[in-house]
C-alpha cells in the first residue's frame, strides 16, 4: 500500500459545510448533546445516590460503573444524532468520513495498531527497566492475579462489548462534531486540535493528578492526528476502544483481594512519565497507520457538489 498522498488538509473539517454552520445552529446542536446527556443521566445519578445512602457500594461498584457507561453512551448517541441531523441539517455520517461511509474493518485495524504500539512500548520499557533494575520486573509480574471477584469479572467482560460504542460516540463528538464545528471559525488545525484535546481532558474529569490530564491531552492529540490524517474516524475509534479495553483488562488482573473493585475509576496518582509513554505509543501508531493505510477517494469538495449539498448558513 502506498503512503498517504497530498490533499486538502481541511476536507474532513469542512464536511460541516454539508449543512448549516451558523453560530445559532452550533448552539442548538450543543444544547441537544448536553441536554440529552443530562436528561438521561440525572435519574440514574439520583437512583445511585439513593442506593449509596442506603447501602455499602463497595461490592456493587463495577455494576454501577457499567450501568453509568451504558446510559451515558446511549444519551451521547441520541444527542449527537439530533445535533447533526436536526440542528445542522446534514447527514449523520458526515461526522465519520469524507465519503459518508463507515468501514468496520478499519475499526479493527485501529484497535490492532493500538495494541501493537502498546506492546512495542511495553517491551521497550521492560528492556530498559531490566537493564536498570532486573528485580523490578519480577515484582511487577507478581502483582498480576486471576480475577476472583465475580461481579468485577462479569461487568468487566460486559464493558468490552460497550466500549466500541462508547469510543465511537466520543470520537464522533470530539474528533467529529467538535473538530468540524470549531474548524469553521478557527482555520488553524493545530489550534483546533489543541482546544479539542483540552476539552477532551476536562470532560473526563480525572482526579489522578495533572499528569493524568496531560495524558488525556496527548491521547486526544494522537487521535486527532490519526483521524485528520485518514480523513475518517474508524482508526481513532478502534484505538480509543482498545485503550479503554486495556485499562479494564489491567484492572481485572491486578485488583488484589481486599482492594475496592473498580473498572475504570482507579484513584492511583498518574506518574510524570505517563504523558511521555502515551506520546511514544500514539506517535508510533500514527506513523504505522500513515504508512500502511490506503486513502479514501472521496473528498468534501466532491460531496458538496452532489445531492447532499446545502447552503452555508
Determine which of 52-61, 127-136, 171-180, 233-242 has the lowest per-residue pLDDT on average.
52-61
The percentage of the chain sitting over the pLDDT mark of 70, rounded to a whole number, equals 81
**Residue predicted with more confidence, 141 or 27:** 27
The conformation of residue 55, written as its DSSP 8-state character, comes to S
Distance CA 171, CA 159 (A): 17
User: pTM value?
Assistant: 0.87
Q: Do the Cβ atoms of 48 and 32 come closer than 8 Å?
A: no
Lookup result for grid cell 495524558 = 215
Q: Do the Cβ atoms of 300 and 11 come closer than 8 Å?
A: yes
Distance CA 198, CA 217 (A): 6
In the chain, how many H helices and how many E strands?
11, 0
Nearest to 62 by CA among 255, 215, 269, 270: 255
Q: Which pLDDT score, from 0 to 100, does residue 271 have?
A: 87
Q: Is the pLDDT reported for residue 102 higher than 90?
A: yes
DSSP string, 259-313: SPP-SS---PPPPTTHHHHHHHHHHHHHHHHHHHPPPPS--HHHHTTSTT-----
Digit-coded pLDDT (tens) for 203-233: 987 767 889 999 999 999 999 999 999 999 9
Distance CA 233, CA 12 (A): 10
Determine which of 26-30, 149-153, 214-218, 286-290 has the lowest per-residue pLDDT on average.
149-153
Q: Is the pLDDT reported for residue 302 higher than 80?
A: no
Residues linked to residue 236 through DSSP beta bridges, in sequence order: none
Q: Is the pLDDT reported for residue 310 higher than 70?
A: no
Q: Is the pLDDT reported for residue 266 higher than 80?
A: no
Which of 155-159, 203-207, 264-268 is predicted most confidently? Answer: 155-159
Q: Is the pLDDT reported for residue 3 higher than 50?
A: no
Q: Which pLDDT score, from 0 to 100, does residue 90 have?
A: 97
Q: Do the Cβ atoms of 162 and 241 come closer than 8 Å?
A: no
Grid coordinates representing 198 are: 483540552
Which of 165-174, 208-217, 249-258 is predicted most confidently? Answer: 165-174
Per-chain mean pLDDT for the chain: 84
Grid coordinates representing 209 are: 493528578
Grid coordinates representing 161 are: 462489548
Label residues 121-145 b or e (16+ Cβ within 10 Å = b): beeeeeeeeeeeeeeeeeeeeeeee
Q: Do the Cβ atoms of 229 and 295 come closer than 8 Å?
A: no
Q: Is the pLDDT reported for residue 134 higher than 80?
A: no
Q: Which pLDDT score, from 0 to 100, does residue 307 have?
A: 37
Q: Is the pLDDT reported for residue 300 higher than 60?
A: no
288-298 average pLDDT score: 67
Beta carbons within 10 angstroms of residue 75's beta carbon: 21
Q: Do the Cβ atoms of 163 and 138 come closer than 8 Å?
A: no
Digit-coded pLDDT (tens) for 7-28: 788 999 999 999 999 999 999 9
**Residue predicted with more confidence, 67 or 311:** 67
Q: Do the Cβ atoms of 200 and 174 come closer than 8 Å?
A: yes
Distance CA 222, CA 284 (A): 10
Q: Residue 97, SS3?
A: strand
Amino acid at each position: 500500500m502506498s503512503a498517504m498522498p497530498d490533499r486538502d488538509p481541511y476536507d474532513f473539517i469542512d464536511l460541516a459545510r454539508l449543512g448549516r454552520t451558523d453560530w445559532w445552529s452550533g448552539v442548538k446542536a450543543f444544547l441537544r448533546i448536553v441536554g440529552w446527556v443530562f436528561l438521561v443521566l440525572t435519574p440514574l445519578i439520583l437512583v445511585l445516590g439513593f442506593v449509596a445512602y442506603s447501602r455499602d457500594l463497595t461490592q456493587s461498584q463495577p455494576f454501577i460503573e457499567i450501568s453509568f457507561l451504558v446510559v451515558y453512551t446511549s444519551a451521547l448517541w441520541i444527542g449527537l444524532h439530533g445535533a447533526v441531523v436536526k440542528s445542522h441539517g446534514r447527514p449523520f455520517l458526515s461526522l465519520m468520513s469524507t465519503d459518508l461511509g463507515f468501514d468496520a474493518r478499519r475499526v479493527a485495524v485501529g484497535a490492532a495498531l493500538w495494541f501493537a504500539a502498546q506492546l512495542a512500548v511495553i517491551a521497550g520499557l521492560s528492556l530498559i527497566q531490566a537493564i536498570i533494575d532486573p528485580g523490578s520486573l519480577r515484582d511487577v509480574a507478581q502483582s498480576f492475579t486471576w480475577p476472583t471477584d465475580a461481579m468485577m469479572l462479569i461487568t468487566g467482560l460486559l464493558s468490552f462489548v460497550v466500549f466500541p460504542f462508547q469510543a465511537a460516540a466520543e470520537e464522533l463528538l470530539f474528533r467529529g462534531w467538535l473538530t468540524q464545528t470549531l474548524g469553521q471559525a478557527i482555520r488553524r488545525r493545530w489550534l483546533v486540535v489543541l482546544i479539542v484535546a483540552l476539552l477532551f481532558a476536562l470532560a473526563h474529569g480525572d482526579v489522578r493528578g495533572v499528569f493524568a490530564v496531560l495524558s488525556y491531552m496527548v491521547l486526544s492529540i494522537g487521535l486527532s492526528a490519526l483521524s485528520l490524517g485518514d480523513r475518517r474516524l474508524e482508526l481513532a475509534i478502534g484505538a480509543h476502544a482498545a485503550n479503554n479495553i486495556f485499562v479494564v483488562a489491567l484492572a481485572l488482573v491486578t485488583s488484589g483481594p481486599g482492594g475496592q473493585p473498580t473498572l475504570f475509576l482507579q484513584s492511583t496518582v498518574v506518574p510524570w512519565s505517563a504523558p511521555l509513554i502515551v506520546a511514544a505509543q500514539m506517535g508510533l501508531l500514527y506513523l504505522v497507520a500513515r504508512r500502511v493505510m490506503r486513502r479514501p477517494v472521496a473528498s468534501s469538495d466532491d460531496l458538496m457538489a452532489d445531492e447532499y449539498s446545502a447552503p452555508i448558513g
